[in-house]
Amino acid sequence: MKSVFIKAGLLTCLLVGIITQEASAESTLATKCSLFEKNTNPPFQQMNCLLTNAAIEADIPPEVVKAVAYQESGWSQFTKKNEPNISPDVGIGIMQVTDTENLDVEKLKYDITYNIEAGVKILNDKYAYDLPKIKGAGRHEIENWYFPIMAYNGTKAVNSPVYKSNGEKNTAAYQEEVFSIIEKASFLTGTKLASFPFESSDFVYESTDNIKFNKSVYTLNNLHTSVYFLKKGDKVVVTIDNSKLRGKPTTSSEVKNTALKDSILTINNDFSYDVKSTIENQFVWFPVKTAEGKSGYISSAYIKRWDASTAPSKPKVNKITDQDVVITGKASSNVKVIAKGTKIMGQKTAKNGIFKITIKKQPAGTKISIYAKDASGNISESTRMTVIDKTPPAKPSNNKATSKQVTGKSEKGATITIHKGKKQIGKGTVDKKGKFTVKIIKQKKGTLVNIVAKDNAGNKSNPSSVKVK
């Protein structure tokens, strides 16, 4: 890293203590993340807590702060010998602060919270500099910190986003390495942050090797908004298939439920750190609830904020029966309409506001969610449908009749009615084993009776006949 540039008015209340060289011992970070042994790196999840809270209170995506700290020091304030972590270029501690003007050097060496706050303030200042920004993006969009992250290390030629000679991407640039850490440690699943459309002409290298920026605004799609600012009641979208909802905030906890990719979940409460303090996961855990009311903890790596203002309209879906092989309905034109149960059943792009999704026949009672997804990846709320039973029971079988009762087999739970001509002479229910015994009005030997089964959906079987013996 690094240099500290103090600018009036840029500090948050949290960071005022850095300049006055006070209050680190009373830091809110230390109290929020519990006390720890001095001159020793605290457990990983405690450090996660310190970095996360410092970032949130400064209104910076924690994904950014944690990745910068990891790039700088691997989250180490102290060496294995319990000495301050000081680099060859005299960077100090976890945030590797080098410019110590207006700072207490001894506290930078030995006070982790003070060091983190100093680094966060530096990053906060860089955001206010005259650096390129992303059109329409704010502080919570991770990609909008690309150039402040660069400035944290230095706007030098070595950190140019592209090579001057050939215009190819400079993957060794400091900010590129930090973004790589965010992708691997905060998302885990191959998620890629949005790429800038850089050109060589965007940058001019002065004789001092400081970069001059010719372009001040970039337009990017599919930005990643930090999930750490989510509140209870906010909604999120699952970004991987069959994401696990666990009983406790840790990967070793039992799996209570699962959620398919694109499922919309509701945040139940504040996030938690991994219950195992030594687990080296930079993500946190959110308690969530599914649309069906199922709950559990999900990793922040597997969710993104759901925004109702950018979401497509919820599809209107026609009734679905157990005889149907096509789901039909209305949706916004050119959105992809997806049907899913325990897995994706089918999908089709809506044309002229109409969609038709081919599916396999589904059993009555199957729950199907139908939602829309636009070209930018925005997800609509789901229309939840239950497959209607339109299949009548089979004709009752194995029928026997005496003068006072009729027995046989039919669909479990069906209602059995016995008829002599048009007159009903008995009524009963099929038991759990598929058998029925129905008492009837006394009949003469040789009388022909008809048996009809009706399921709970009101579908009637064809009648079967039997003679009284």
By 3-state DSSP, what share of the chain in percent is helix, strand and coil, each rounded to 5?
Answer: 20, 30, 50
For CA atoms 39, 41, 43, 47, give the dihedral sign. Answer: positive
pLDDT (0 to 100) of residue 153 = 95
Q: Do 230-305 and 1-224 fall under one CATH topology?
A: no
Provide the 8-state DSSP code for 264: E
CATH number of 316-386: 2.60.40.10
pLDDT (0 to 100) of residue 210 = 86
CATH number of 397-467: 2.60.40.10
Locate 463 and state its tokens: 């009648």
> Which positions ≥6 away from 377 have C-beta within 8 Å?
222
Q: How far apart are CA 73 and CA 425, in angstroms?
A: 86
pLDDT (0 to 100) of residue 112 = 94
Answer yes or no: pTM beyond 0.85: no
Provide the 8-state DSSP code for 314: P
Q: How far apart are CA 113 and CA 261, in angstroms?
A: 38
Q: In what order do the strands lie in the sheet with 435-439?
A: 397-401, 405-409, 435-439
Torsion angle (degrees, nearest 10) of CA 125, 126, 127, 128: 60
Amino acid at 384: R
pLDDT (0 to 100) of residue 19 = 31
Of 308, 301, 256, nearest in space to 274 by CA:
301
Amino acid at 323: Q
* 123-182 pLDDT tens trace: 999 999 999 999 999 999 999 999 999 999 999 999 999 998 888 999 999 999 999 999
Q: How far apart are CA 282 and CA 252, in angstroms?
A: 16
For residue 255, the SS3 value is strand
Q: Degrees (nearest 5) of the Cα angle 382, 385, 389?
A: 170
pLDDT (0 to 100) of residue 264 = 95
For the 1-224 domain, the top CATH level (class) is: mainly alpha
Are 162 and 203 in contact by the 8 Å Cβ rule? The answer is yes
* 317-370 pLDDT tens trace: 999 999 999 999 999 999 999 999 988 999 999 999 999 999 999 999 999 999
CATH number of 230-305: 2.30.30.40
User: Strands 217-218 and 133-134, how do they pair?
Assistant: parallel
- As beta bridge partners, residue 447 has none
pLDDT (0 to 100) of residue 29 = 64
Give CA separation, 465 vs 42, 398, 449, 468, in Å. Answer: 81, 11, 6, 10
Of 84, 75, 83, 79, nearest in space to 54 by CA:
75
Determine the number of helices (DSSP H) and then strands (DSSP E) in the chain: 8, 25
Q: How far apart are CA 107 and CA 77, in angstroms?
A: 11
Are 429 and 451 in contact by the 8 Å Cβ rule? The answer is no
Are 175 and 195 in contact by the 8 Å Cβ rule? The answer is no
Q: How far apart are CA 159 and CA 168, in angstroms?
A: 13
Of 310, 352, 347, nearest in space to 330 by CA:
352
Per domain, the residue ranges of the chain are 1-224, 230-305, 316-386, 397-467
Residues of the chain with pLDDT under 70: 1-31, 35-36, 207-208
258 — phi, psi (to 5°)? -130, 160
Of 452, 458, 459, 468, nearest in space to 395 by CA:
452
Locate 332 and state its tokens: 């916004």
